[in-house]
Structure 1
């Protein structure tokens, strides 16, 4: 029986007889294909993440989860992972979390081998990510959102697109908050009560108070948590 591997393969993933796909995959812009994780892979992936996070915490590091490793999230994750304390020692361990969709999963294995999943004008981005992943060991990526259970702080960098219906008539458009709302529900269902949640995504006025805040409060109430969720909006400060 064939064994499953998370090693990258190049070209399409097809069957040997019919040519039909046998394993769903995610293809990077460079054409490298990565098999999507199967349900049975999740437990082992969380154990891997948990072991690294607990080791980092034992070393005095805070654990930060960055939700979304796109052109903003990947850079922000690296910046946080490069943080040092007053003695020059790494002070943060960062977990970049991305949905394992065919469109986006490829970012995870790329990050885990120290390669930037985004192209930036600043040449330091590639150097920064490579240093944090391969040298400092302060940055990893995962597809398992259970990593939120390990977080001292969560930074939200998921998309919140604005759709314009007509050129020159912005008032006819609307913000698509589906991804943000789904992410906030996942966060509320998993984070420790004292975890700080920072929304860095560019959102419409009132989103933090009237969309994200009620979602977190409802999730905490469902879990029987009586403390108030720690939530703030901190607009993105990195230029991709």
Structure 2
């Protein structure tokens, strides 16, 4: 592509993030819920998970308006919610801690890099722009295995710092929040801490989400935003999302249920 053609192509692209983007942003980027509303939403889900015996759950929020999301996707950011003892200034209480992969904020960490962050249900809900979240409740045995992985060195070892909005779950070049969640699920399911074995098993058993994108966006997107890297893609753009992780876990008897949870009120 010559310089003139490139400039014309750039001018034709929308100023906003291309619709193929997912979301692994920290809380605060969305303004849909006030802090009290986010806290109430988080508390309601905590109570629901507790009644279902959810020691470890996988929760997915919509960090982008659904009208701007790729076809077939309703949720963007996934994380683990773990019920455990939480230290406070006054002692200790029981509640849910949230384990996330977040992309950099462009200040302390570049946006095409990521970090593992533990925060809380209110933080998680503050990042939502919709009034529902999706939940995958693993089987009791998978909850036990997931907790063991989260509390082990394997959890951090599976982190790939290079952030990709549409990271390929079958490659180890880039990662986003949902491919990280899938990697931890794979470690627990197959009881391995070998990243290469995880990739082999996923290629055999996991059916990814396919992101439909026009050729121009695929070509120019990475030039505009490093997070849109597609150098790990060969053919259709594939990634992991709630819509592909939930059936994978159900088909392999790794989950007890999956469901949508609506914000009360």
Give me the TM-score of the superposition, normalised by structure 2.
0.23
Higher-strand-fraction structure = 2
Q: Flag the structure with more relative contact order, 1 or 2, with Cα contacts below 8 A and sequence separation at least 6.
A: 2
